[in-house]
Amino acid sequence: MKKVTIFILFIIMIVIAPLSYALDNRAISIKALQSEKRVALVIGNGKYKDSPLNNPVNDALAMAKVLEGLNFKVLSGTNLTQKEMKQLVISFGKEIKDGGVGLFYFAGHGVQVNGQNYLIPVSAVIESEEDVDVEALNVDSVLAKMASANNRLNIVILDACRNNPFARSFRSAASGLAQMKAPKGTFIAYATAPGSVASDGDGQNGLYTQELMRNMKKSGLKIEEMFKDVRSSVQTKSNEKQTPWESSSLTGDFYFKLDTNTLVSSSSEPAPQKASKSFDPEGEMWETIKDSNDASDFKTFIKEFPNSKLTATARLKIKQLEKTRQKTAPTETALMQGPPQGNYMQGPPMQGQPQGNYMQGPPKMTANNSKSSGSKYKDNGDGTVTDTKTGLMWTQKDSYADLGKCMSWDASKSYISGLKTGGHSDWRMPTVDELKGIFEESKSNTTFNGGPVHLDTTFASGGSYWYWSSEEANFCCAKFVLFYDGTVNAPPKSYCDLGGVRAVRSGN
């Protein structure tokens, strides 16, 4: 009996001792995570001269407050110049050298040039792609500071995938931010997928940052789980138009908010370990675009993942979509693809556009002065047309017929401000309703490539498929009316392909 008792005690010691040791180690691990140094740099730039943003400053202030509540020491700044941004990055680099966790958050304008990402200071004066490296802050410089700190873990959050405010002066048409490879021990999060554009949002905060702050406060979520929840929420609330993206090389765990009860409980009841499924950017992007009818989605995929096994499939999809587009009349989807690549000094190679060196002047456009039956328009003989029912006066030529090139929203405003057509200087951009007033389903005119638009023939032919209105949809986008079918769309203000503006004024 004595031997049996000793044997049982021996067995208990074998079973209990390792478990006790594991619990002790787990407690030490939890204590280390609780006391681990956390430092964050938070920047929000919104007061841009040419393309201001409503939410970045609100986002940065709110994010700084949330991070402070999660035991981060926060360095922050809003509406910063390039010098101020660089000074904060230097200070941030010094703070994180003592180890722990470093976090960098930026909200504002960001652009990609030659595959590199740049964050735009409010002081930036950028007239060409070459100016970006001089005027902006390269994200790589932030990553370099983090890498040199040799701390346990670094997090980079970029809510900067908004439309490129300088797109019209860039040679390339890339939008959003480029995907970056995360250095060892780094987690990089984007507000939306590579090459895509995120909305600034209509509320107090941008959609991405709003969901990010809400999920950061949840207890017991590993960083990967937390960002997965953010992605799901943003996709749902944006009706699948925005898909947050992450790139990670983490090997350890990180919790924005620890739940010690859950951690201790889970450690005392060991369960079989499942191999966690790591985030697969290539697979996620393919799942997002595989059913798309927009060829530019597949072009972006090939650019981001040139060595993918799916590249051949993506090229086939592009070929099929472009073939379909050539067979059909322009639709909203075709319009929203954006201008093709090319040498814009000789005019963008748009479908059916007359080729030629536009530095020698645009293709000759002529007015079609034959009035259709029952026309309500009067040709004033001085390049203007009066709508006899509304009294509004319009330019007979639109900007495309006048200059032989498409125009962004900002360029259209600038163009109209200098108009003197008919001896008048009070021309303005029309409203959506005013544009709808000259759209006539029963009438047809022709554009530069021979396609029909529903516009009275008193107006000059040889112009655009669609016209910008004076109305903004939000910080990044403005409304236009498509004269092929009368629909209203709201692309980024930098959009240009096949469109322009037709000026209007009161007729007195």
pLDDT digits 0-9 by tens, 156-168:
999 986 555 554 4
- pLDDT at residue 198, rounded to an integer: 62
pTM check: above 0.75:
no
- How much of the chain, in percent, has pLDDT values that exceed 70? 69
Segment 111-122 mean pLDDT: 86
* Domain at 35-270, CATH class: alpha beta
464, 472, 195, 225: CA torsion to nearest 10 = -150
Greatest mean pLDDT among 65-79, 426-440, 461-475 lies in 65-79
Tokens 């180690």, located at residue = 25
Segment 126-142 mean pLDDT: 87
More confident residue, 6 or 313: 313
Model confidence at 493, pLDDT cuts 50, 70, 90, reads: confident
Q: Each residue of 323-348: pLDDT tens digit?
A: 766 654 444 333 344 333 333 333 33
Question: In the predicted model, is pLDDT for residue 172 greater than 80?
Answer: no
Q: Which long-range contacts (CB under 8 A, 24 or more apart) does 263-269 make?
A: 263/26, 263/30, 263/220, 264/23, 264/26, 264/27, 264/30, 267/22, 267/23, 267/26, 268/19, 268/23
Task: Identify the burial level of 192 via C-beta atoms within 10 angstroms of its C-beta, where 0-12 means exposed, 13-18 middle and 19 or more buried.
Answer: buried
- pLDDT at residue 187, rounded to an integer: 93
Task: Of 354, 423, 389, 403, give the one whose Cα is nearest residue 502.
Answer: 403
Segment 12-18 mean pLDDT: 51
SS3 of 376-394: the string is CEEECCCCEEEECCCCEEE
Task: Of 431, 453, 444, give the one whose Cα is nearest residue 498.
Answer: 453
Question: In the predicted model, is pLDDT for residue 484 greater than 60?
Answer: yes
Q: Each residue of 366-413: pLDDT tens digit?
A: 334 334 445 788 998 899 999 888 899 999 888 888 887 888 888 888
- pLDDT at residue 64, rounded to an integer: 95
- pLDDT at residue 56, rounded to an integer: 92
Q: Each residue of 295-322: pLDDT tens digit?
A: 777 787 787 778 787 887 788 788 777 7
Question: In the predicted model, is pLDDT for residue 456 greater than 60?
Answer: yes
Start and end residues for every CATH 3.40.50.1460 domain found in the chain: 35-270
Task: Identify the burial level of 82 via C-beta atoms within 10 angstroms of its C-beta, where 0-12 means exposed, 13-18 middle and 19 or more buried.
Answer: middle
- Hey, how many other C-beta atoms are within 10 angstroms of the C-beta on 444? 15
Across all residues in the chain, what is the average pLDDT?
Answer: 75
Q: Each residue of 281-302: pLDDT tens digit?
A: 677 677 767 777 777 777 877 8
- pLDDT at residue 74, rounded to an integer: 95
Q: How many Å is the Cα radius of gyration of the chain?
A: 29
Comparing 35-49, 212-226, 356-370, which segment has the lowest mean pLDDT? Answer: 356-370
Phi and psi, residue 226, nearest 5°: -65, -45
- pLDDT at residue 164, rounded to an integer: 59
Residues 6 or more apart whose CB falls under 8 angstroms from that of 442 comprise 454
